[in-house]
Structure 1
């Protein structure tokens, strides 16, 4: 019994925690852009094995569910409907067989996540079900979803209400998205990269004072930033070095590029900064035209913030598990 894609939405793909450990082979991570939103969507449907979810951008897909299905929506707020009934986000819903879920546009933010109980039964490539759209690796030959695609649900543990689910059911409680979604547009934390000192004095100051705009050319590989041109003191001739999501590069155009989930594993542009990993999910929710600015941080502070978020997230995951057990 399948989940049928009636309309694919914009850049909808299967994503999990990423394809880690293969950079030496030239294979990047991919994976969910907003990692906490992906993880919490899975938790709400009681998935605990890193199951893949659907990630969609700006506009969501329309899907038909041939069997009763437990779902959760997280990430950016999206207009979600089954027939004339509106579905809330950040909670769990049970869809009866034959339901058509319509996910429309996002009021703000950029990426949403749809998890289903048991995940999706697609083959893992190098240990991950993530779709690397740039490298063409993963489900559906590494492409985004298209109309007519069929997704088979994975084998989750039985959940008693499903056999008798004939009407849409919404769980009585949900999560507050506020701590996990960047409503405030506060500055992103960046520490100085290996080539920061090669920027001229004006550009060094501008990096932490200027406001940039996310370019329409941004994608899962990188966020391109338009705004004040940054300049080097003198041209640099560099060999390619390792790069990771969050690396801030400066191409000859003078407009910075922040690498994202599908970042190449090497690159030859000057590395003028590194975004704190804890802020990658916040960057992922900026849409074209949104502003981006940076505050200076250190490696130690970035590590402490990441550890603190992991602790908060784990406490919430434990709370969700207890609530579901008592439901």
Structure 2
């Protein structure tokens, strides 16, 4: 069990999302950075979809009411466990009564506090994720508040090892050479041809800025407006995270984890699944650029991610086997 001692707005319980209900108007929700959640759960040997806490406002402080393994992923931040610094992206162990403080990140935007076994909150429509707009899931469908108590499914866990952050393990040349601009691969969408030639070129060439009018529903981008060849009226269509819509003002909106289930703004492109975690970790004010790719390239881009997670699972399994061999044996009566 853990108790929330200090939290700001919009920190919530999330897992990998609520799938299979978009046709009924129920969005996926789930972690903005699902890769960070998967890494934390692998480190703790949790089920892949175990629930955790998504932290996007800081500081965040909890007390462990019982011994518990934990891992903080997603960001490079100062972590303090009862006055002792601990590392992000590592499996750690807390004793009963110890207090963990997650400070503002030096890099990245959203931290994920994963615990042994995952958080034990009710499953609603197949997921423990908080749906803020609908007011369900997570802890009573709301952000966490000081004084909240969350049950933990597991207990003490093997610790003392960690993961190479994906920003390092999955680093690309453009991440180093682009002057702080986050490059996201995107596939032209159904309505790409409806925009003027100049707008189509500008979409790829512009370093768009993430505006403060951005949240878990969507990231609003600032730059020279994109224009259609002529006014159009579109029927509403299904939306998934990554779709980039262009409203009448001409500045794109990238749909995120709490994306609407349907909409009618023209779709100019879609960020590929392999790069959504990069966007989730981009802060307000960050500049982003879209790099054109096709469907085959978008599918292939998931292979390095899958290999990274597979290598991590094997490392954790080997470390666990080694730890069991080193553990002292006890004899029965």
Q: Shared topology, TM-score over 0.5?
A: yes
Alignment-derived partner of residue 27 in structure 2: 28
CA distance in 1 between counterparts of 2:255 and 2:68 reads 35
> Offset of 1:87 from its aligned partner?
1.2
Among 224, 245, 261, the residue aligned to 1:228: 224
Find the counterpart in structure 1 of residue 66 from structure 2.
67
| Equivalent position SS for 1:203 | helix
Q: 3-state DSSP class of the match of 1:303?
A: helix
Instruction: Name the CA shift for 1:324/1:10 in 2 (closer, same or farther; >3 Å).
Output: farther
Partner of 1:280 in structure 2? 276
Q: Partner residue of 1:247?
A: 243
Q: Aligned residues, how many?
A: 315
- Which of the residues 255, 264, 267 maps onto 2:263? 267
| Partner in structure 1 of residue 93 of structure 2 | 94
> Quick one: distance in 1 between partners of 2:89 and 2:321?
18
Deviations 1:155-178 (A, max 9, x none): x3x6578xxxxxxxx61x322111
Q: 1:11-90 residue pairs with structure 2 within 5 A?
A: 11-90=10-89
1:128 is matched with which residue? 127
Classify the secondary structure of the residue corresponding to 2:301: helix
Q: Distance in 2 between matches of 1:179 and 1:291?
A: 22
Q: CA deviation at 1:10?
A: 4.2
Give the C-alpha shift of residue 67 in structure 1. 0.9
Tell me the equivalent position of 1:202: 198
Q: List structure 1 segments (4+ residues) > 6 angstroms apart after TM superposition.
A: none
TM-score between the two structures when normalised by the length of structure 1: 0.92
Residue 123 of structure 1 deviates from its aligned partner by 0.7
Distance 1:123-1:108 versus aligned 2 partners, 3 A rule = same
8 Å CA contact 2:72–2:90 kept in 1: the answer is yes
Are the structure 2 counterparts of residues 186 and 216 from structure 1 closer, same or farther at C-alpha, using a change threshold of 3 Å?
A: closer
RMSD of aligned Cα (Å): 1.8
Cα-to-partner distance string for 1:54-109 (whole Å, 9 max, x where unaligned): 11114241101111111111111122112321111111111111111111101121
Structure 2: which 5+ residue stretches go unaligned? 324-333
CA 1:288–1:49 in 2, change beyond 3 Å: closer, same or farther? closer
Q: TM-score, normalised by structure 2?
A: 0.90
User: Shift of the alpha carbon at 1:179?
Assistant: 1.9
1:166 aligned partner: none
Cα contact 1:10–1:60 (8 A) shared by 2: no
SS of 1:293 mapped into structure 2: strand
Q: What is the rounded CA distance, in whole Å, between the counterparts of 2:85 and 2:304 in structure 1?
A: 35
| 3-state secondary structure, aligned to 1:176 | coil
Q: Does the CA contact (< 8 Å) of 2:182 and 2:287 recur in 1? A: no
**Could you tell me whether the CA contact under 8 Å between 2:42 and 2:48 is conserved in 1?**
no
- Answer with 141-150 or 4-13: which moved more: 4-13
Q: In 2, distance between residues paired with 1:101 and 1:187?
A: 34
Unaligned runs of 5+ in 1: 162-169
Report the Cα distance in structure 2 between the residues aligned to 1:318 and 1:23, rounded to whole angstroms. 34
| 1:175 lines up with 2:163 in the alignment | yes
